A and B are shown apart, each in its own frame.
Chain A
Amino acid sequence: MDGQSASQDNTIWWICFPRVKFEYKKTNVIPAPGFESGELYQTKIPIVLVGPTGNLRFEALVDTGSDQTIFPRTDVKEITGIVIDKNLKSEVKGRLEHHNESLYFAHNTKLQISKDQEIYEFPAPIWFSDEENSPAILGHSGFLEYFTITFDGENHELTLEPNKNFPGTSKKLAW
């Protein structure tokens, strides 16, 4: 693996980006065609919304059908200190025309993914919604564009590997 390192306290910083793997999240549902076992798998990963005064943690859906990365607005300002610009508004529609919701943008937002001793932190454009009917969504802008992702349906796991567009840092904790 190419990279260079420098030691700092007990942390070794690597400028290289290994893969991280996450298991799909499993939920019990009423059995139905396509879900005869009553088990529903979703491509959710743990992700941290990083703010100047605090962080919020979500199990967010890696959603190739979403153009944007969308988080619920609840508690964001109070806990993270992220200021949402209510003047910068957009609109999202689902597959049904009557579903329509407003999104608001916040500047200088960052996301963090960690797994085992690997931590990725990167700036990402994020929109915020007042709707709470869906999980946090990791879409193309702000997330998918930075990674090569493999979805393994057989083993119910996804693998993330930062690509050359990845704008953040990778840190490996070692002691």
Chain B
Amino acid sequence: MQSAKEEISPTVPIEYSGKWIAWSADHMRIVSSSDSLHEARQKAFDLGENEPWMDKVPHRTIRFGGSAFRA
């Protein structure tokens, strides 16, 4: 049985540059945003989204480099 073509999450608009955002449970809508992870999550809860997906949006001009770890 083939499944229906899945919907792809929308592109994150540039206005959310560098912010934490909360996606809806189905990944199709940005419910809230903030500079702080806690605040973005709390806003989502307050708006009735109990299972938000928290996402750190890339900055509009600053790119993310690789990381190295030393234990």
* A interface list, Cβ under 8 A from B: 23, 25-30, 32, 38-40, 42, 44, 46, 56-59, 61, 63, 65-68, 72, 74-75, 90-95, 116, 132-137, 139
A29 touches B55 (CB 8 A): no
Given contacts A74-B37, A95-B65, A95-B68, contact A59 B54 (CB under 8 A): yes
A56 touches B54 (CB 8 A): yes
- When distances are taken between beta carbons in the complex, the residues of chain A under 8 Å from B8 are 23
Q: Which of A23, A39, A74, A136 contacts B38 (CB 8 A)?
A: A74
B41 to chain A, nearest CB (A): 6
- When distances are taken between beta carbons in the complex, the residues of chain B under 8 Å from A27 are 11-12, 14, 16, 57-58
A-B contact count (CB 8 A): 108
A25 to chain B, nearest CB (A): 7
A69 to chain B, nearest CB (A): 10
20 contacts between A and B (CB under 8 A): A25-B55, A26-B11, A28-B14, A32-B61, A40-B58, A42-B58, A46-B53, A57-B51, A57-B53, A67-B69, A68-B69, A75-B38, A75-B41, A92-B68, A94-B65, A94-B68, A95-B65, A95-B66, A95-B68, A134-B64
B68 touches A30 (CB 8 A): no
Chain B interface: which size bin? Answer: 35 or more
Kindly state the separation between the CA atoms of A29 and B17 in the bound complex, as whole angstroms.
8
* B interface list, Cβ under 8 A from A: 3, 6, 8-9, 11-14, 16-17, 20, 23, 27, 36-38, 41, 51-61, 64-71
- When distances are taken between beta carbons in the complex, the residues of chain B under 8 Å from A65 are 66-68
Closest B residue to A141 by CB, please name it.
B69
Given contacts A39-B11, A132-B20, contact A58 B53 (CB under 8 A): yes
Kindly state the separation between the CA atoms of A63 and B57 in the bound complex, as whole angstroms.
15
- When distances are taken between beta carbons in the complex, the residues of chain B under 8 Å from A72 are 37
Q: Which of B6, B65, B67 contacts A92 (CB 8 A)?
A: B67
B41 touches A137 (CB 8 A): no
B70 touches A93 (CB 8 A): yes
A59 touches B58 (CB 8 A): no
A135 touches B56 (CB 8 A): yes
B37 touches A66 (CB 8 A): no
- When distances are taken between beta carbons in the complex, the residues of chain A under 8 Å from B11 are 26-28, 39
B61 touches A29 (CB 8 A): yes
B37 touches A29 (CB 8 A): no
